Amino acid sequence: MKSPNYQSAEYRPITIKTTDGSTIHGKVNLAYKQRVSDLFTKDPSPFLIMVEVMSKESKGRVMFVNKKHVVWAEPEEDK
């Protein structure tokens, strides 16, 4: 039986641009009714955790991105 406070993972696709010019496509886990912007403004963790990452250097991996190195982030529609 699940706890009443249990929240299942909800992944949303995003694209980010980093300070070194890299563009990274992947998915982030959002809590129920949370926005992508909340990951940057309300989450105290210094890292953004992305899964199913697609970039020049990798494909299908998990990546921890330092939020200080993110220039912009764009939520995408689920495909």
Over residues 8-47, the pLDDT tens digits come to 788 999 999 999 999 999 999 987 668 899 999 988 999 9
* Residue 5 is assigned to a structural domain of this protein: no
Mean of pLDDT values over 62-76? 95
Residue 62 resides in a domain: yes
**Distance in angstroms (rounded) separating the CA atoms of residues 7 and 68:** 28
Tell whether 1 is covered by a domain: no
CATH classification at residue 70: 2.30.30.100
Please state the rounded mean pLDDT for residues 36-65.
91
Residue 57: its pLDDT value, please?
77
Q: Over 80: is that where the pLDDT of 72 sits?
A: yes
Question: Could you tell me the residue range of the domain that residue 22 belongs to?
Answer: 10-75
Q: What is the pTM of this model?
A: 0.80
Domain count, the chain: 1
**pLDDT given at position 7:** 61
Contact 76, 24 (CB under 8 A): no
Q: Assess if residue 2 is contained within a domain.
A: no
